[in-house]
Chain A
Amino acid sequence: EPEVTQTPSHQVTQMGQEVILRCVPISNHLYFYWYRQILGQKVEFLVSFYNNEISEKSEIFDDQFSVERPDGSNFTLKIRSTKLEDSAMYFCASGRGEVTEAFFGQGTRLTVV
């Protein structure tokens, strides 16, 4: 069964460093998403991406964040200068339609020290 894969599973980075979280969505999906879950809190929407551009983003997704689909298969989330409060589990998701089932990856746990 096709699945969304995320790498790495866990990343530790120093405050102020740039990180890139990688995701390989399901191949025939057209909509891509990033969510995050700070420990003990709810899963929060960050951004959605369709047709090679951002279709919607939340207040969390400020200028420090960017997304890219560089090669037609990968979908990346970049945080330019990480802060301690960026520590969270980051989930990538993809879907066939605008509001249909979103398939989630296993997540990348980002720890900023």
Chain B
Amino acid sequence: AQSVTQLDSQVPVFEEAPVELRCNYSSSVSVYLFWYVQYPNQGLQLLLKYLSGSTLVKGINGFEAEFNKSQTSFHLRKPSVHISDTAEYFCAVSDRTGANNLFFGTGTRLTVIP
């Protein structure tokens, strides 16, 4: 079974500062990894995903994440945040062996302070 841990429930950060949202996972099999963003009153939108290949993945809105197999991590980073990045961010994993459902973390609320 898979599980996802997002250690930080809330992350406040000043506008134009860098941010890192942490995600660790556990799984007995290889996984696919995802970051989703949820803006207020909206659904979940995919930011980026890691399926295979380069461990550094670039997504939309200037976000990137790095897959670290030895540390079982998939942290999300952005070098300079904007007010519009204020949202809830969810890390998720999916079993590579054929299961097609996503296991989500509890989410990190990113608040960008002007």
A48 close to B101 (CB less than 8 A): yes
Q: Count the A residues whose beta carbon is within 8 Å of the partner chain — how many?
A: 27
A45 close to B44 (CB less than 8 A): no
Which one, A6, A98, A102, A106, contacts B102 given CB within 8 A? A102
Nearest Cβ distance between residue B66 and chain A, in whole angstroms? 19
Q: Count the B residues whose beta carbon is within 8 Å of the partner chain — how many?
A: 25
What DSSP secondary structure best describes chain A's contact surface? Answer: strand
A-B contact pairs, 22 of them (CB 8 A): A4-B43, A6-B43, A33-B101, A35-B102, A35-B104, A42-B104, A43-B90, A43-B102, A56-B99, A56-B100, A58-B101, A91-B43, A93-B44, A99-B94, A99-B100, A101-B34, A101-B46, A101-B49, A102-B102, A104-B36, A105-B43, A106-B41
Q: Please list the residues of chain B having a beta carbon within 8 angstroms of any beta carbon in chain A.
A: 32, 34, 36, 41-46, 49, 51, 90, 92, 94, 96, 98-107
